[in-house]
Each structure stands twice: as structure tokens, then as C-alpha cells.
């Protein structure tokens, strides 16, 4: 049983420790969804919520829990949610996920922030 955000962060990292690639996802209360992606030495923590961005306080708390290196700049982006199909075969309402991405590298021991280019967006595949 996970009792704190720090425990959750450690659990998510352990899930990705078995190989150099992958991701894991958790939904928290209040609709906040956390994704942790690993691509070799490169990591990305994405916080997302429907309709509104995660708060600065939520970002700061998650950065501490996941040991995101100081100096890692959060990047904002919006992703259209796939609408549900209704019983009549029509698409449902479109929603927008508001995402905060934190990207860093843990190559050569110490975690290092990775600066992202403005306008470079990546779609979530989860």
C-alpha cells in the first residue's frame, strides 16, 4: 500500500528499473494523472489534468517526490483527449488534457536537467 507521494514515486521508479525503456502511470485524487517515462538515461515526468493545468504547488511537490533535479524547467502543453463514442454512434465531447512536462537525464550518476526547445511537443501514447 502506497502511503505517500514519495513512496509512490519510488514505486514508479522501481517499475522502470528492470529495463532501459518504458513508462508507468498513476491517477491521484483531484484528477491529477502522473506519467513517468524512461528512455535510457532520459526521464520525463508528466503531470496532467483535464481542463486546467496542474498548480505550481502540485508541480513543486511532485518535483521533490520524484527527485527532479533543480533547474529543470517545466514545459506546458495541451493534448486533445479522444472523445468517447456514444450509444448512438456519435462522438462525445472533446476535452483537453493540460500537461506539465519535466525532462532530465540521469547519465553519469547525478541527475541533470534537460532543456527542451520551445514549441517542441510530443503526443502522449497512453
Residue 126 lies in a domain: no
What is the pLDDT at residue 95? 83
> Does a structural domain hold residue 119?
no
Which range of residues forms the domain containing residue 38? 5-113
Residue 91 forms part of a structural domain: yes
Query: Would strands 21-27 and 95-105 be described as parallel, antiparallel, or unpaired?
Result: unpaired
Say how far residue 85 (Cα) sits from the centre of its chain: 26
| Residues ≥6 apart with Cβ < 8 Å to 67 | 9, 111
pLDDT of residue 88: 60
Can you tell me the distance from the alpha carbon of 108 to that of 111, in angstroms, rounded to the nearest whole number?
8
pLDDT value for 27: 95
Is 123 within the bounds of a domain?
no
Report CA-CA distances (Å) from 16 to 22, 46, 75, 111. Answer: 6, 15, 23, 16
> Is position 43 within any domain?
yes
Residue 55 lies in a domain: yes
pLDDT at residue 109 in the model: 52
Q: Say how far residue 55 (Cα) sits from the centre of its chain.
A: 14
Q: How far, in Å, CA of 65 to CA of 4, rounded?
A: 9
Q: Is residue 36 part of a domain?
A: yes
| In a domain? residue 66 | yes
Residues in the chain where the model's pLDDT stays below 50: 117-126
Residue 28 and residue 46 in contact, taking contact as beta carbons nearer than 8 Å: no
The per-residue pLDDT for 101 is: 98
Q: What is the pLDDT of residue 108?
A: 54
Q: Degrees (nearest 5) of the Cα angle 117, 33, 21?
A: 60
State the pLDDT at residue 125: 31
| Count of the separate structural domains present in the chain | 1
- Whole-number Å distance between alpha carbons of 17 and 5: 18
Amino acid at each position: 500500500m502506497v502511503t505517500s507521494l514519495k513512496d509512490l514515486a519510488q514505486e514508479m521508479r522501481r517499475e522502470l528499473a528492470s529495463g532501459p525503456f518504458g513508462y508507468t502511470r498513476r491517477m491521484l485524487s483531484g484528477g491529477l494523472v502522473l506519467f513517468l517515462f524512461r528512455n535510457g538515461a532520459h526521464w520525463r515526468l508528466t503531470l496532467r489534468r483535464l481542463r486546467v493545468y496542474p498548480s505550481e504547488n502540485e508541480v513543486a511537490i511532485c518535483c521533490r517526490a520524484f527527485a527532479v533535479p533543480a533547474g529543470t524547467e517545466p514545459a506546458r502543453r495541451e493534448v486533445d483527449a479522444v472523445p468517447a463514442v456514444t450509444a448512438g454512434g456519435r462522438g462525445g465531447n472533446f476535452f483537453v488534457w493540460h500537461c506539465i512536462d519535466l525532462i532530465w537525464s540521469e547519465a553519469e550518476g547525478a541527475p541533470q536537467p534537460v532543456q527542451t526547445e520551445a514549441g517542441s511537443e510530443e503526443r502522449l501514447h497512453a
